[in-house]
Every structure is written in structure tokens, then in C-alpha cells.
Structure 1
Amino acid sequence: MKILFTMPIPEDLQEKQQAQFPDNTYHYIEDIRACDTLSEINCIVSYGSDITEEVLERATNLRWLMVFSAGIEELPHAKLQDKNITVTNVRGIHAIPMAEFAFSYMLSYVKQLPHFAAKQQEHQWGRADHQISELANQTLIIVGTGAIGTQIAHLAKAFQMKVIGINTTGKQKVPFDKTVQTKDITTVLPEGDFIISILPETNATKGFYQKHHFQTMKKSAVFINIGRGSAITEEVLIDIAKQQTIAHMYLDVTPIEPLPENHALWSFPNVTITPHVSAHSPRYLYRSFDIWLENLERFQKQEPLLNTRQLDRGY
């Protein structure tokens, strides 16, 4: 096979795959448009954003696209389906860093760490003027019970939290205390002290959260979005922040990315924004390669591949 990587790959990983699969030819080029042998490539390994219809037209011998990310919404789905190109991704590798990130939000909130950081800047002890609490016995609602949601749920049980899962079927999963269907989400939202959204971007999830969802939540609830920013419109986010419908929103993703410097969301004290970094980890490429090398062996043996995407479903 002739395989093209469109991102920098550490030398130790290059050497590992060369030793394990010496019969393949590997190309490394960060700008896919500059690849003058694209018509000869059988497999492209990419983060996905550089795969366009033009690239697919040029890649006449492409059989497999391996995407080193979980989201595939940016891909030209129709063209990939027309050309019968297999698409796989690295679903599951984000579970550890994103679960830890979600807990950094929640622990920061209950322990009021931003308040004490501000007090330190003011050189003030300020011990008695702010109440801290704990996660134990609080209820966490996780919207999305895949690999990431399940990892968060495992950590939540270690913190002695009650965990409710939301998914399309309502199928019960360990370690969730209970799971309900997405269509029934408003029946459990009033129970949530923390609500974490891990929804992917599909036609069904764009603008999923409406004002009435937040109005159903406790006034003291905290909403966290580490899934896709498109799940909530700008209008809804700003309205919830202005009206102080809930206590706080943590947004690692926003409807517009990067969020413009003059955007209203930056200025609300009840909104914390991070720049879509919850999945970042020095282990990212290494975890991706675990799946990639397993799939490369399966591909050559003509066995079913891990994480084959159903493009008609959008994720």
C-alpha cells in the first residue's frame, strides 16, 4: 500500500510502523495540496479538515481514509460515499483527557478555585467570605454515553456522585445509575446538579438545547459543553447567561470558533470559556497510532476495521 500522512509524525512512531509493516510505502507531507503523487495513494491518514472534494477527485486510487479525530462532520460525505471510500476514525482516544477536563471544571466550581486565585492576586486571605462544597452525593447528567461519557461516569462514581446517562435508545449502561432516551431528557434535567454535553455534530444535534431545557434545570445547575458548539445557538447561550437561568456554564466549544474577541460571551461572569482544548494530550498521536496500527493489520488481512464510520449518520 501507498500511505500518505498529512500531519507531523514523531520518528519513533514512523520507525514502529516501518518495522511492523515494511512492505508499505509511507509519505509524509503536511500540505496535501502539494502532493504530486496523490493519484497513487491508497490510504490517507489525516485530521480530516484538509480532505476536500478536489482532493478526492485527484486521489483516484484512494480506498481508505483514516481520520485522526473523532468528529467527521467536515468531511465531504457524499463524495466519499460516491467513491466507496472506507472511513475510520480514532473514536475513544479522547476519553481520558476529556473526562479529566470535565472534572477540572467541576472541581474548580465546587472548590471555588477562581475566587481564591483572585484573592491571591489581591494578597488577601479571604478564607471566610466564600463557601466551598463537594461533588459527593450530587447528581451528574451526561448527554452522550459513548466512550467519553462512560469514562466521565466512572470517575463520577469514584467521587460518589449519582450519574444519569442520556442516549438515543435509553439502553442501560454500566456504570450509569440510570439511562433515559434523548427525547425524554426534560424528565431528568430537574435532577441535575451538573449537566455535561458530549453530543457530536449531526443534523439532529444542531441547536439541540433550547431555552426550555435550561429553564427546566435547577437554578443552581452547572452546564458543561465539551462536545460540539453547534448543539446550542449563540442566541440561547447569551439569553441563558443574561437571565442567569442557571448558576454557570463552562464552554470548551462555542457556536463560532475561534470565538471573536468582541463576542458577548467573553464578558459574562457566569460563563467560563476555554478554546476547544479538552481533548488535548501529549499522548494523542500515540493513542491514535494504537488504533491505526491495529486497523492497518486488519486491512491487510481483509478483516473488519475498528471505528468504521457510517457516513449517512453523520458521525
Structure 2
Amino acid sequence: MKILFTFKIKTSFKQQLKEKYPNVDFIYTTNIDEVALGDIEVIVTDGGDLKSGHVEKATELKWVMVAAVGVDTLPIEALQARKILVTNSHGVHKMPLAESVLAHLLSLERGLPGIYKREAEKNWELDSLPGEVNHSTALIVGTGAIGGEIGRLLQAFHVRTIGCNRSGHASPHMNETIPLDDILEELPQVDYVISILPSTPQTRWIYQPEHFRAMKETAVFMNVGRGDAVKEQYVLDALKHNEIRHAVLDFFETEPLPKDSPFWELPNCTVSPHMSSLSDQYIERSLDIMDINLEKWVAGDQDLINQVDLAKGY
């Protein structure tokens, strides 16, 4: 059995795999085009390097393990046509992304950006009194593992959490849950809108200008999901017209964000360079999931964890 890794991993993990699976031929590369793919059974990738042409060449390919959560960059149709099993690293983003959300909200409410600015200016005087996260209301759009962890942390600060998912089914750490179709009615009641939606046909460009007009003028909009959930121009217009207080944006339509983008200059916008889910523990967590599945695979068990429904996109 040949298994191809298309991203760098630590030498210690390579050694661990070699010792645990002596009959498996592990191949490592950072350029998939340099590898003969004909007899590769498993490909472990961290994202968009796998193309339909690679799937076509990999005639023995049976499983693609994605060391990330999003699978929208994969050649979905080619994988579906071959009925190739795809798993992801669902759950690895939960802790760092939830911490990022909480950090941004606490920073904004407790006035940390102003503290740093006044420190640089050696200015003692406050511009305005800081606020509190305590007893606010957050709408968490997307109630999977990440949304649940965000809800858990916010509830520790006495925040009322409203989850939002397709059907409105009850979700952990949410005081209530609403269906996606009811989001417009809920927006005028909430202080924070936290979007962690994946990129799917159903969620693409889901936020329209009327959504921002429905939000409180004091609301914070945070997109730590995919960039194609909202058009950048809609957020820009909302910020420029003070329809919302602040936006924290971790994803953009074009990345890296161009230097001439007005987002860089807006005082009521925080540009986060696609880093909210990053952590020095990220790869280790992904490889732990891969190891669980690999142990099953080698034993002939294809009931792997984190299987992706390619038709749904998650």
C-alpha cells in the first residue's frame, strides 16, 4: 500500500508512521506533480493542490484525507465519479477558532485597540468608556463543533447564545436555535453576528444588504467562516454607512487581501489574515485524526471518522 503526503510533516511523525505501519510505503512531497500517482491508494493533502487531473492519473486511489476542514477546493466531481472516500479534519479548528472569536469580542468591548494606540502615543486619557460582553446576545450562524465551542465559551461570560442552522434543530451550548430562513427576523435583537458557515451552494453569498440594514447600529459582524458567505462590497457599504459598529473579517473574496483594499484603512474593521483557526497544535491534531483512520484502513475497516458528504460539501 502506498500513501502520499503532499505537505510537510515533522520527521518524528514520519518515524512514528514507519514504526507503526512497517508494511506501508509512505511517500512525502510538497509538489504532487513530481510524483507518479498510478499506484497511490491514499493521498493526504492540506487543501487545493489536488486537481481532477491528479485523480484521473491515480487509478488506484481509494481515499483522500484532508488535513483541514473545508473541502471546497477539492475536485469534487472527479472524486464523486470514482466514489473515492474523502475524510477531513473536522474538530481541529474548534479550540483556536473559538478562542479567536472570544479574543476579538473581549478586545473590542474592553477597548484594547485604544489602549495599544494610546500607549504608543504616551497618552493617558480615555476616549470613551469600555463596554462588556456580559449579558449581550450572540447569533452564531453555524452550529457544528466550532459553533458549539464558541457558544460554550460565550455562555461562561453570561452571553445569550442563539444558534442558527439549516433546520433549526437544537444544538449544544445554544439557549435557542433558529432555522437559517429566520435569520433576518432575529438580526435586530442581537449584539454579535458570528458567521462560521462553510462554503456550500446553499450558503454562498447568503448575507445580503438587507441583513446588514436589519442589524443594530451597535452590532459587531464577524466572519470566521468562508469568504464567499458575503460580498465584500456589502460589508464595506455597511461599515461606511455605520449600519453596524464593527466588522471582524478573517476571510475575503480575494486572498491575500490587496494592499489597496479599503478594508485596511477603515477604523471600524479588523482585518484578520485568514488566521483565526491557526495554531501551533493544528497539524498535530490533524495527524491524530489521520492516525485513527489509518489504523482502521490498514485493518480493512473503511468505517472512517469524519467522512465528508461531497454532495453537501461537508
Q: Normalising by structure 2, report the TM-score.
A: 0.97
- The secondary structure found in structure 1 opposite 2:201 is coil
Q: Which residue in the other structure is 1:275 paired with?
A: 273
What is the alpha-carbon distance in structure 1 between the residues aligned to residue 254 and residue 213 of structure 2?
24
Partner of 2:33: 33
Alignment-derived partner of residue 86 in structure 2 = 87
- Consecutive unaligned residues of structure 2, counting only runs of 5 or more, are none
* Structure 1 residue 223 displacement after superposition: 0.6
Per the alignment, residue 107 of structure 1 pairs with: 106
User: 1:25 is aligned with what amino acid?
Assistant: D
> Matched residues in 1 for 2:129 and 2:20: separation?
56
Structure 2 CA distance, aligned partners of 1:174 and 1:60? 42
Match of 1:71 in 2: 70
Equivalence map 1:1-315=2 (5 Å): 1-35=1-35, 37-127=36-126, 129-300=127-298, 301-315=300-314
- Separation in structure 2 between the aligned mates of residue 241 and residue 219 of structure 1, nearest angstrom: 10
Distance (Å, rounded) in 2 between the aligned partners of 1:64 and 1:221: 44
SS in 2 for 1:255: coil
Larger mean CA deviation between 292-301 and 1-10 belongs to: 292-301
CA distance in 2, matches of 1:298, 1:180: 37
Give the alignment's Cα RMSD to 1 decimal.
1.1
Cα distance in 1 for residues equivalent to 2:170 and 2:16: 40
SS of residue paired to 2:252? coil
**Identity of aligned pairs, percent?**
39
Q: Structure 1 residue 201: deviation in Å?
A: 0.6
Report deviation, 1:66. 0.4
Amino acid corresponding to residue 94 of structure 1 in structure 2: H
Q: Which amino acid aligns with 1:69?
A: A
Letter of the structure 2 residue corresponding to residue 292 of structure 1: M
Q: Distance in 2 between matches of 1:156 and 1:139?
A: 9
1:115-173 Cα offsets, whole Å, 9 max, x none, are 1111011111114x321121111111100000110010110111111110000111112
Shift of 1:216: 1.2
What letter is aligned with 2:278?
Answer: H
Deviation at 1:114?
0.7
Deviation at 1:78, TM superposition (A): 0.7
Following superposition, the deviation at residue 24 of structure 1 comes to 0.8
* Letter of the structure 1 residue corresponding to residue 251 of structure 2: V
Amino acid at match of 2:211: H
Q: Give the stretch that moved more between structures: 155-164 or 16-25.
A: 16-25
CA distance in 2, matches of 1:161, 1:218: 17
Deviations 1:179-208 (A, max 9, x none): 000001122211211110001111111111
Q: Which amino acid counterpart does residue 4 of structure 1 have in structure 2?
A: L
Q: Distance in 1 between matches of 2:280 and 2:274?
A: 16
Gaps of 5+ in 1: none
2:87 aligned counterpart, secondary structure: strand
Q: Does 281-290 or 235-244 show the bigger shift?
A: 235-244
TM-score (structure 1 length as normaliser): 0.97
SS in structure 1 of the partner of residue 91 of structure 2 = coil
Distance 2:101 2:57 in 1: 41
Q: Which runs of 4+ in 1 moved over 3 A?
A: none
The letter of the residue matching 1:159 is: F
Instruction: Between 10-19 and 238-247, report the one with greater CA deviation.
Output: 10-19
Q: Quick one: distance in 2 between partners of 1:96 and 1:199?
A: 16
